[in-house]
Amino acid sequence: MAYEMYQEQILDHYKHPRNRGEMPDADLQARDYNPLCGDDLTIYLKTDEKGTITDVRFTGQGCAISQSSASMLTMMLKGKNISEAKGIDPDRIVKMLGIPLSAVRLKCALLSLQVLKKALFSKELSQAEAMKE
Amino acid sequence: MERTKPSLDVAKIKKDFPIMERKIHGKPLCYLDSAATSQKPRQVIDAVSEFYSNYNANVHRAIYELGEDATRGYEGAREKIAHFINARSSSEIVFTRGTTESINIVAYGWGMKGKLGKGDEIVSTVMEHHSNHIPWFFVQDYKGVKLSWIDIDDEGYLKMEDLDRLVTERTKMVAVTQCSNVLGTINPIKDIAKKAHEVNALCLVDAAQSVPHFPVDMQNLDCDLLAFSGHKMLGPTGIGVLYGKEKVLEEMEPMLGGGEMIREVHLGRATWNDVPWKFEGGTPDPAGAVGLGAAIDYLSSLGMQNVRQHEIELNAYGLEMLGKIKGIRILGPMDPKKRGGLIAFTIPEAHPHDIAAILDAEGIAIRSGHNCAQPLMERCGIPATARASFYVYNSPEDIDRLVKGLKKVQEVFA
């Protein structure tokens, strides 16, 4: 299974990640961590007034699956509306990667989506926190 | 390296381990993860099976032959363990589920229920496994005691000047591992226990990576408490040991209340059983204890000095062969005699999880990740490592396969 996992596309995104780097003026951002592998990921989003994602960046470190998944996901996001992005489900990520994944490695693969969702909902989450106080 | 007669007959030993016949992705199993859990010889599997087939009963209270047989098996295993680590008596041996539970029993019964208070301190080290960190965090949060940690030097040895600086009149406990599960470093427990005793502190030792791999003598080390797991030393899962000097155990409160741990119970009040049974509330795991006894018989028949010598030889060969891999970073002491039988490393091309996945395809099982030692990973400035660990069934050929596998990893990620 391992060799099927490390297909050219995965290795290409791992070695040459797209949209990698910080975004100091991001409108939305979130970070999460996979304690199992030590995969660490932050996603930054820039949006316009219509809620369209105009720019995406990510930083972090981790295994080939988590990092290539993040790189591929950022490519998918540019030009999408926030509500559209909120609708991306795990199946979509698995299809995007197109490789066999064990239960353990699925966590690596889905870290990018988890962080994206956290970023997309970060405004609502912080508002909810503020209301609690 | 000079070739002398090998310390262990690995080919013969391997035949005792049924799992070694398994093929992984069509290849013979190359098991290099014994620091996580060891494989089990037929003798141990048979002993457990024999218990359930021939003398299964609840221990201690049954007034019939089966129950007496079961109790004899259970208490007999306790005697074997006491002898194996040269304890003064079997009443110093508490059966637990493993190292983690053993340390938690101390953190609860000596720490949280004990006489500790603000101003008291517990000294540990940065190289501990989470199981020798978190229980002390509980005590810190509950009792307001101060924790401090002995640092390591660049080679992965404890900074002994930190021990001298941190252990003071305020220190009540020094909790330290005998052998790091990441660096492999073997710590000078005798000196550390002596230092603790100078200030009337106790010394607890995490022996999860030491008792399975080399001779450990309680009367020589003179630590007060020591914890280890059966499953890392050819025994079954779910059985482990807390060793404690009788006086220390007597002063500790029990963690589990229930059957067996009592002397007298009235509504609303009770008195405790003698040590060690005071700490063994509820039906214990006699089959596990009997299995651990069989594991100890197996290890004793090989000779723990021979086991140690064998692992030093594998260390020497492993450090030499892995050291030739371009860009590799090996953690811990480079002297094979100064480390337990394990080598943790990183290579620049690939994350440890990716290394482990490719090696798996070659039939090789290694550990990857933070090794339950996140503070140590942080101290070393790395998120994770790959780790190969050795035991009685490993041979230099396993290291050759590992090195070959790592070259494949480098090809894939080149």
Q: Do A62 and B351 lie within an 8 Å CB cutoff?
A: yes
Residue-averaged pLDDT of chain A: 92
Residue that is last in its domain, among B253, B285, B300 = B300
State residue B61's pLDDT score.
81
Identify the structural domains of chain A with CATH numbers, from first to last: 2-123 (3.90.1010.10)
By the 10 Å C-beta count (0-12 exposed, 13-18 middle, 19+ buried), B397 is classed as exposed
State residue A30's pLDDT score.
96
Residue B1 belongs to a domain:
no
Joined together, the tokens standing for residue B330 give 């090996």
**B110-156 pLDDT per residue, tens:** 999 999 999 999 999 999 999 999 999 999 999 999 999 999 999 99
Q: Using pLDDT thresholds of 50, 70 and 90, give the confidence band for residue B272.
A: very high
Q: Are residues B24 and B167 in the same domain?
A: no
State residue A38's pLDDT score.
76
Q: How many CB atoms lie within 10 A of CB A125?
A: 13
Residue B391 belongs to a domain:
yes
Q: Which of B179, B223, B372, B380 is catalytic?
A: B372
Domain region containing B408: 10-31+303-413
Residue B37 belongs to a domain:
no
Q: Using pLDDT thresholds of 50, 70 and 90, give the confidence band for residue A1.
A: low
Residue B4 belongs to a domain:
no
Highest mean pLDDT among A24-38, B3-17, B342-356: B342-356
Residue that is last in its domain, among B300, B318, B347 = B300
Known catalytic residue: B179?
no
Q: Could you say which of B361, B369, B377 has the minimum Cβ distance to residue A36?
A: B369
Inform me whether the pLDDT recorded for A27 exceeds 50: yes
Joined together, the tokens standing for residue A131 give 């209301």
Give the residue-averaged pLDDT of B163-173: 98
State residue B67's pLDDT score.
94
Q: Using pLDDT thresholds of 50, 70 and 90, give the confidence band for residue B4.
A: low
Q: Using pLDDT thresholds of 50, 70 and 90, give the confidence band for residue B1.
A: very low
Q: Are residues B212 and B261 in the same domain?
A: yes
User: How many Å separate Cα B310 from the centre of its chain?
Assistant: 18
Q: Are residues B228 and B83 in the same domain?
A: yes
Beta strands in B207-325 (DSSP E): 225-229, 240-244, 262-266, 269-272
Q: Using pLDDT thresholds of 50, 70 and 90, give the confidence band for residue B3.
A: low
Return the CATH number at B238. 3.40.640.10
Joined together, the tokens standing for residue B18 give 């049924």
Residue that is last in its domain, among B254, B282, B300 = B300
Q: Are residues B295 and B309 in the same domain?
A: no
Return the CATH number at B319. 3.90.1150.10
Cα separation, B357 vs A14, in Å, equals 16
State residue B309's pLDDT score.
98
Residue B38 belongs to a domain:
no
Q: Do A38 and B370 lie within an 8 Å CB cutoff?
A: yes
Report helix, strand and coil shares of chain B as percent, to nearest 5: 45, 20, 40
For residue B370, the chain A residues in CB contact (below 8 A) are: 35, 38
Q: What percentage of chain A has pLDDT greater than the value 70? A: 98
* Domain count within chain B: 2
Does the CB of A57 have a partner CB in chain B at under 8 Å? no
Q: Are residues B195 and B295 in the same domain?
A: yes
A-to-B residue pairs, Cβ atoms closer than 8 angstroms = 50
Residue-averaged pLDDT of chain B: 96
Give the residue-averaged pLDDT of B150-166: 97
Residue B3 belongs to a domain:
no
Beta strands in B165-272 (DSSP E): 171-177, 202-206, 225-229, 240-244, 262-266, 269-272
* Chain A residue with minimum CA distance to B359: A2
**A95-108 pLDDT per residue, tens:** 999 999 988 899 99
Nearest chain A Cα distance for residue B230, angstroms = 24
Q: Do B357 and A2 lie within an 8 Å CB cutoff?
A: yes
Q: Are residues B315 and B275 in the same domain?
A: no
Nearest chain A Cα distance for residue B385, angstroms = 10
Q: Are residues B253 and B326 in the same domain?
A: no
Q: Do B383 and A40 lie within an 8 Å CB cutoff?
A: yes
Residue B40 belongs to a domain:
no
Q: Are residues B294 and B309 in the same domain?
A: no
**B62-114 pLDDT per residue, tens:** 889 999 999 999 999 999 999 999 999 999 999 999 999 999 999 999 999 99
Q: Are residues B177 and B259 in the same domain?
A: yes
Does the CB of A108 have a partner CB in chain B at under 8 Å? yes
Q: Are residues B121 and B231 in the same domain?
A: yes
Q: Are residues B200 and B332 in the same domain?
A: no
Q: Could you say which of B361, B368, B384 has the minimum Cβ distance to residue A3?
A: B361
Residue B36 belongs to a domain:
no
For residue B377, the chain A residues in CB contact (below 8 A) are: 38
Q: Do B351 and A105 lie within an 8 Å CB cutoff?
A: no
The residue of B25, B346, B351 whose CB has the most chain A CBs within 10 angstroms, and thus the best one to mutate to test that interface, is B351
Is residue A108 within 8 A of residue B353, CB to CB? The reply is yes
Q: Do A62 and B413 lie within an 8 Å CB cutoff?
A: no
Cα separation, B218 vs B244, in Å, equals 9
Q: Are residues B262 and B334 in the same domain?
A: no
State residue B252's pLDDT score.
98
What is the CA angle B84-B87-B90, rounded to 5? 90
Closest CA to B145 of B103, B181, B114, B101: B114
For residue A40, the chain B residues in CB contact (below 8 A) are: 383
**B313-340 pLDDT per residue, tens:** 999 999 999 999 999 999 999 999 999 9
Inform me whether the pLDDT recorded for A83 exceeds 80: yes
Does the CB of A36 have a partner CB in chain B at under 8 Å? yes
